[in-house]
Amino acid sequence: MTDPGSLNMKIILFTISLGAFMGSLDVTIVNIALPTIAGSFGLSTGSVSWIVLAYLIVLTGFLLAFGRLADIKGYKKVFVAGFAVFTIGSFLCGIVPLLFDSFFSLVVFRVVQAVGASMTGALASGMVALYLPAGRRGKGLAFITVMASLGIAAGPFIGGILTQFFGWHWIFLVNVPVGILAVFLSVRYLPADRDLRTDSVFDTAGAFMIFLALFSGIFAMNRGMDFGWSSPVIAGAFAACIIFFAAFVFHERRHPDPLLNLSLFRNTDFSFANAGGFIILLVFTGATFLFPFYLEIIRGFSTSFAGLVLVVPSLAMIAGGPLGGTISDKRGSRGICIASAFLAGVSFIMFALLQEFTQFWFLLAALALMGLSTGMFVPANSSLIFSHTPKSETGTVSGVMMTVRDGGASVGVAVFETVFALAVYDKISTSGADIKTIIPAGSGIIESGFTCAFIAGVIFCSMAVITSFYSRDAG
């Protein structure tokens, strides 16, 4: 193990954190360019959204598989390969669609990019847990949280500048020099892989089943409002998710060398900790999805100013990460997880009190509290999960943890969008699910939708407090 205070260790942490930074940056940097890309190819908003959906599905669907692969083949090998694939995919996303005027090629190479992002994203937290001693783990995981938050905050700004002044393809090409640097640093500084499970055989069938389960589940969650939750397409997708997940569990229980050791979940501390991570990402992502509508419809802010306001939670996460990591290292993770989940609940109580003429400082304070509490929770929760993880399962658990959190993010958007829409439609007694159709109904009616969604957030945060209470530190 490398000396945690050495220069090499700092370079290692920086290299690993580049994966977290680029992964989060590449989501938000693309979102802001979607209207421009749609105009470039003459596509509808629904069609161009496949750039985001395909990336999300592949990124989440392969996390568990790549985490397990790292346990067998080596963390350094998978991480380096991931950055290489991500860099190649980014280059192809920026060049090929322009040369051939092909949106299809953009989606294809976006999938390639997502495969690379999944390889690095599955391992970032696990590598920190593997390379750092328990007493420094929280700070290392906090640094990962900070870099991911920087990516989220910087994405819209960088993406807007590049798209406006250089063209949308530069939002992909900007990844290339960073990717090359990351590959060089990874090859040069990451520790050599040791104690590998060379006698293990990769569970291809299990990886295929869990990918199909996640594919159908994420598709249903992201397209439920568009197609209608009771539509045959969405109902079929949910059914496929349940069937493939059940088949995965059945297969894993009987496989001699499974993709996922299900006995890990017999540890209630491990299970409750993952449940807490799922819930916190659910409420954070759900709120950040809904807030642009609140800021633009209720408060009347411009799109650019609303985007600036929504940088506040990311900046607060940057402050909260080191605080949560440091407290976790010194006093254990359970207490800071409970406190952070409680503070998140307070922020949603503040959200539920928001009205059209609420003081601006109150709005900023609520957003900052949500970001601060999430930033404190994530590294402490990660450290708690890894404290219950056998060293030989570090990669797998890292993949599980990130899959659970990404799943929470997908569910969060669907839950908040649905609660908002149902509350508003109940008031105006109309059908349909397009937010734009209810804007003329009056801000008072729309406010009730936001209030109900944020009250749901309070309930979820209360559940996170409970799951954190039952997640004890190891030893």
120 to 17, 123, 398: CA distances (angstroms): 10, 5, 11
Could you give the CA distance from residue 317 to residue 177 in angstroms, rounded to a whole number? 27
- Is 195 among the domain residues? no
* One domain, residues 234 and 251: yes
Inter-residue contact 219 to 410 (CB < 8 Å): no
Is 270 found in the same domain as 253? no
- The domain that contains 168 carries what CATH number? 1.20.1250.20
Q: How is residue 77 written in tokens? A: 């090998």
In terms of Cβ atoms closer than 10 Å to its own Cβ (0-12, 13-18, 19+), residue 41 is middle
Dist. CA 295–CA 275, nearest whole Å: 30
Task: Give dist(CA 328, CA 25) in Å, integer.
Answer: 27
User: Taking the chain, what is the end-to-end CA distance rounded to the nearest angstrom?
Assistant: 21
> Tokens 């060398």 identify what position?
257
Q: Is residue 197 one of the residues assigned to a domain?
A: no
148/249 same-domain check: no
Residues 250 and 284 in one domain: no
Residue ranges, the chain, pLDDT below 50: 1-2, 4, 430-442
- 329 and 224 within one domain: no
d(Cα 207, Cα 152) in Å, to the nearest integer?
Answer: 29
254/269 same-domain check: no
* 453-470 burial code (b ≥16 CB/10 A, e <16): bbbbbbebbebbbebbee
Q: Could you list the residue range(s) of the whole structural domain that residue 26 is in?
A: 1-188
User: Is residue 121 assigned to a domain?
Assistant: yes
91 occurs within a structural domain:
yes
Helix (H) or strand (E) holding 200: none
Domain tally, the chain? 3
Residues 277 and 367 in one domain: yes
Q: Which amino acid is at 166?
A: F
Residue 193 lies in a domain: no
Q: Looking at the structure, tell me whether residues 234 and 362 fall in a common domain.
A: no
Q: Are 176 and 211 found together in one domain?
A: no
Instruction: Give CA–CA dist 434/344, Å, rounded.
Output: 29
Is residue 128 located within the same domain as residue 211?
no
Amino acid at 146: V
Residues 278 and 231 occupy one common structural domain? no
Task: Let me know if residue 404 belongs to a domain.
Answer: yes
Looking at the structure, do residues 337 and 467 belong to the same domain, yes or no?
Answer: yes
pLDDT of residue 438: 47
CB-based contact 89:110 (threshold 8 Å): yes
The angle at the Cα of 243, spanning 242 to 248, to the nearest 5 degrees, equals 95
Dist. CA 142–CA 378, nearest whole Å: 8
Token pair recorded at residue 85: 């694939």
The one-letter amino acid at 287:
A
Q: Among 158, 188, 218, identify where a domain stops.
A: 188
Assess if residue 198 is contained within a domain.
no
